[in-house]
Amino acid sequence: MAVVVGLAGCGSSGSGGSGPGPAACSWHVQRSGESADDLSGVAFPNDLHGWAVGGIDRPAIRVTTDGGATWRAQHAAGTNGLSSVAFTDDRHGWAVGVHNLLLVTTNGGGSWKPGNPDVSHDGNLYGITFAGAQHGWIVGSGGVIRATTNGGRTWTAERSGTGADLAHVQFTDLRHGWITTDNGEILRTTDGGTTWTRVYEGSAKDNEEVANVMFLTPQLGWIAGSRDDGFSNHGLVTKTTDGGQSWKATDVKQFDDVRFGDVDFTDSLHGWVTGYQGELWYSDDGGAHWGSRTTPALGERIDDMVFRDARHGWAVGESGTIEACTA
């Protein structure tokens, strides 16, 4: 297990430090239709086609075919909300949610049909990802991992080695993947999911919360979360350059009264983190320094974020919020 080995000095344009320069894109609100369903997952297989999912007592699915200029609802039957969505192209997609719900489409969401994740006990599915068209992974409550090697036609169990709820999953290639747990751990596989090991554990002493992890390569990754010093929460970004063997945290003092939610980097230098109240922060030096950016939906929690490149990004969250970062 790796531990945080140090703090990197951090400043911002708002705190008098050396803050980042202009970002390649700026954020603005996009229409999400008339529904106020919370949205918890977003996927863009290309610059034009995107899907956002959520809901509580029914699946909520929104689709765009013009990069988010317009969004419309897609229908899926059922009484369960959705947590995460993945598309391998503009036709083949999967969404997961409450009570082990798995929905599948092969026509760009023109129709969604139930799939079978083959989970025997009742629970929730929280995350889904694909590395290529055939290989995908689902994670959920009670340490559940399901994997497919045939484009989702069948799913088989993998052993996570934990009974914790598994919140997010990401793969950079067919062998290297990471999972975020609800108890502040990061799990890693280097053999396509055959074995998973713990490479990070949030500090119990500092009441650390781990919200999400994002890797650009098998070696380079970041964790977003927060620490509680007894007076307030401090946003926290923790970085590894050796695949999780060691980690280094930024100075949490800069992010007073902020809890970070999601993190995404477009390259080794340029990245974004979101706050639980809709805040957006930007770095252009790999996460050593951060500066706040205009927040078009301040107060609305952002739950998921995805970037195609430095000029094309989207974020979704509370009350049907959909934002885009464009040049």
Cα 320 from chain centre:
17
More confident residue, 271 or 16: 271
Q: Which CATH number fits domain 4-326: 2.130.10.10, 2.40.50.110, 1.10.3210.10, 3.40.50.2300?
A: 2.130.10.10
State phi, psi for 254 to the nearest 5 degrees.
-65, -30
The two three-digit tokens of residue 248, written as one number? 């280094």
* Domain assignments of the chain as residue spans, ordered by start: 4-326
| pLDDT (mean) for 134-148 | 98
CA dist 29 to 47, 112, 294, 317, Å?
Answer: 17, 27, 11, 12
Binning pLDDT at 50, 70 and 90, where does residue 10 land?
very low
Binning pLDDT at 50, 70 and 90, where does residue 14 land?
very low
Predicted confidence at residue 50, as pLDDT, reads: 98
pLDDT 10s digits, 63-119: 999 999 999 999 999 999 999 999 999 999 999 999 999 999 999 999 999 999 999
Predicted confidence at residue 34, as pLDDT, reads: 53
pLDDT 10s digits, 214-267: 999 999 999 999 998 888 888 999 999 999 999 999 877 777 888 999 999 999
Predicted confidence at residue 46, as pLDDT, reads: 97
Calpha distance 37→52 (Å, rounded): 11
